[in-house]
């Protein structure tokens, strides 16, 4: 088995069975990771600071060109934490521009803000893929996002059989999802086992589905 951990804050100890995108948050430097481990870089809405927004954006613009950075983010909107929504929206839109300029997908943090994110996508009409990480919405919400060409990444909430995430994962089209551990200590292999059980397929079939989705976004960066 080869696992793809779409969004994590901790580089895997063993890179042979696991490919990962490690999230780095501005203004922190890029993490030093071995080959096969990739990075995303962006301004998390929790850490937007009024006094250095320009510096943060400039740092993202610079590091976005690093070859190990394959995605921008996590960027987004959070209605429960962070500065005022107009400030969050301004910084998010600037990161949309960076994603488009560098032609790298955008990984999105969205808390109680999926409608706003959806509206921005319709308005901005980006060419780059948008992926909402840690998705925990109802299947109806999933369908609205998929209709607008989003990808969704599911995390440890799928371990709860009655969760919105598990119900949405069961119904989502095969070409639209990823799995992630985020900031938890859950293993990506356990997430694959649980996701295969939810979808009623083998882990080998799930491996092929997720790898195909990964290649669709990032090309042949994995062997």
Residue ranges for the binding site for a divalent metal cation?
A: 74, 109, 133, 182
Instruction: Tell me if the bond preceding 27 is cis, omega within 30° of 0.
Output: yes
DSSP 125: -
* Residues that constitute the known binding site: 74, 109, 133, 182
Distance CA 47, CA 83 (A): 9
The region that residue 126 occupies, defined by phi over 0 for left and psi between -120 and 50 for alpha, beta otherwise, is: beta
CA angle 178–183–185, rounded 5-degree value: 95
How crowded is residue 35: how many other Cβ atoms within 10 Å of its Cβ?
A: 7
Residue 14: name the closest of 41, 32, 43, 37 by CA.
37
């Amino acid at each position: 088995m080869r696992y793809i951990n779409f969004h994590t804050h901790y580089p895997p100890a063993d890179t042979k069975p696991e490919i990962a995108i490690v999230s780095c948050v501005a203004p922190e430097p890029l993490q030093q990771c071995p080959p096969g481990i990739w990075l995303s870089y962006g301004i998390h809405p929790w850490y937007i600071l009024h006094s250095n927004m320009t510096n943060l954006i400039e740092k993202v613009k610079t590091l976005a060109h690093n070859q190990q950075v394959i995605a921008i983010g996590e960027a987004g909107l959070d209605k429960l934490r962070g500065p005022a929504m107009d400030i969050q929206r301004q910084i998010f839109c600037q990161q949309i521009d960076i994603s488009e300029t560098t032609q790298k997908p955008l990984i999105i943090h969205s808390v109680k803000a999926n409608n706003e994110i959806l509206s921005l996508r319709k308005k901005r009409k980006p060419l780059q893929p948008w992926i909402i990480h840690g998705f925990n919405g109802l299947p109806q919400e999933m369908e609205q996002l998929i209709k607008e060409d989003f990808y969704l990444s599911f995390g440890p909430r799928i371990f709860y059989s009655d969760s919105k995430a598990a119900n949405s994962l069961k119904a989502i089209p095969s070409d639209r999802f990823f799995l992630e551990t985020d900031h938890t200590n859950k293993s990506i292999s356990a997430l694959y086992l649980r996701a295969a059980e939810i979808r009623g397929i083998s882990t080998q079939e799930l491996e092929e589905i997720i790898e195909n989705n990964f290649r669709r976004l990032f090309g042949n960066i994995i062997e």
